[in-house]
Amino acid sequence: MMTQAFYTGVSGLKTNQYAIDTVSDNLANISTTGFRSSTTEFSSLFEKTLSTTYDNTANTVGVGSAVQGTTLSQAQGSLMLSDRTTDLAIMGEGWFGVQRNDNTMYTRDGGFGFDSNSDLVTDDGLHVLGTMGGNINGGVLSAQLDETIMGAVSAQGPLNFPNILTYPTEPSTKAEFKGNIGSDDETRSMSAGVVDSLGSKNNLKLTFTKTVPQTLPGSQWDIVATTQTLDGETIYDTKNAQISFNSSGALISTTLTSIDNNGSAIAIDLGSGFDGVVSLGGEITSSSVSDGAIAGDLVGYNINNSGEVIAAFSNGMQSSVGKIALFHFQNDQGLQRVGNSNFTQSNNSGDAIFYTDINGAYTSGSEIASSRLESSNVNMAKGLTELIIYQRSFDASSKSITTADEMMQKALNMDA
């Protein structure tokens, strides 16, 4: 029994020392962004039965304990405000993928920024993984995207967003007009801003005057459409046409279909019925919508809650240019810690996966908060309490070894 006390004490020293180291590591990383705390789990070693009572209750003596493993806490850390739009925090489960050479790791630390090569990287230089939109060609945006479609897990790669990017000129191709020109015999006008192929913004103006003579029922108006520079000094095209309304003021026909804008044709849509231009008594109104855009320079990048990287331009246009990937695992507890906030997959965690929506498209699975960072999820009060408990248990195990040694010495002295 005295020998057994040595074994029990030694196992207690080993397991409690491991637990103390784990808690100490947690407390040391209480300020580490995205840190996930660990909890030590113990298991009892085999027990020896001393006797069995009449009700089959066994009197046993243990032979110590062993470390069963450590459990990774998945509690959400609190969010901290940041002054960088590229700093991100995951709202829920999931991991950012980061890479150095061919070594892929996973982290909750979203402290990202751009390096000298315009790569999106972590603060320690690891490349952030995701899907590029494929719409940047030689510093020019080749297509405007509402969303970047995520590729498969194996297709994720480093993200690169140039600090000089141009939104090209988009000539206007159509202009829609709506409003009430009234029913009185007075000149009315409507205007729309349109862009030509050279990137200049011009004015498309419609002037309405009542046709003489009128043919009842209903009313007819003459239209003069002109495209001209904003200062009115240069006129590119003039079209004369007619528009007709029924007795209720609804549009029934028009001969105005298109006009030239310094070499670019613009389709003109005046609507039909009461959906478009009308001739009614009451307040005079007008509105217009046209497509096209003048050239613009990159203002900056923003990241939305789906991980879309949005490029904003000086002309007011925006476009998705990439998407940051969020990885998931069948068993997060099986991830292998390789740094304070970095992990690698293992046989226990399984391979990284993406969630899919009802249409089978890859999706993030969790929202992402921009200009936020997730703090460590270590609970200081709990950690300090555990540290005291483990230290007392360590002392008790040490005392059991000392006591067993003293008993052994007394037994040897008795034999003498």
Overall domain count for the chain: 3
Residues in the chain where the model's pLDDT stays below 50: 1
Examine the domain organization and report whether 180 and 274 are in the same domain. Answer: yes
| pLDDT value at residue 64 | 65
Examine the domain organization and report whether 163 and 308 are in the same domain. Answer: yes
Q: Helices 2-28 and 380-415 meet at what angle, rounded to 10?
A: 160
Examine the domain organization and report whether 198 and 266 are in the same domain. Answer: yes
Examine the domain organization and report whether 403 and 350 are in the same domain. Answer: no
Examine the domain organization and report whether 254 and 336 are in the same domain. Answer: no
Residue 7 and residue 64 in contact, taking contact as beta carbons nearer than 8 Å: yes
Candidates 356, 352, 309; CA nearest to 148 is 309
Q: What is the pTM of this model?
A: 0.77
Dihedral of CA 343/345/347/350: which sign? positive
Examine the domain organization and report whether 389 and 370 are in the same domain. Answer: no
- Cα–Cα dist 374/88, whole Å: 8
| pLDDT value at residue 319 | 96
Examine the domain organization and report whether 286 and 182 are in the same domain. Answer: yes
Examine the domain organization and report whether 306 and 325 are in the same domain. Answer: yes
Examine the domain organization and report whether 248 and 189 are in the same domain. Answer: yes
Please work out, in degrees rounded to the nearest 5, the angle formed at the alpha carbon of residue 212 by the alpha carbons of 206 and 214: 100
pLDDT tens-place string over residues 65-75: 777 777 888 88
| pLDDT value at residue 289 | 95
Examine the domain organization and report whether 313 and 355 are in the same domain. Answer: yes
Candidates 322, 333, 326; CA nearest to 131 is 322
| pLDDT value at residue 47 | 61
Examine the domain organization and report whether 149 and 206 are in the same domain. Answer: no
- Cα–Cα dist 165/317, whole Å: 12
Cis upstream peptide for 217 (omega within 30°): yes
| pLDDT value at residue 295 | 93
Domain that holds residue 43: 2-74+376-415
Q: Domain holding 235: CATH number?
A: 2.60.98
Examine the domain organization and report whether 364 and 398 are in the same domain. Answer: no
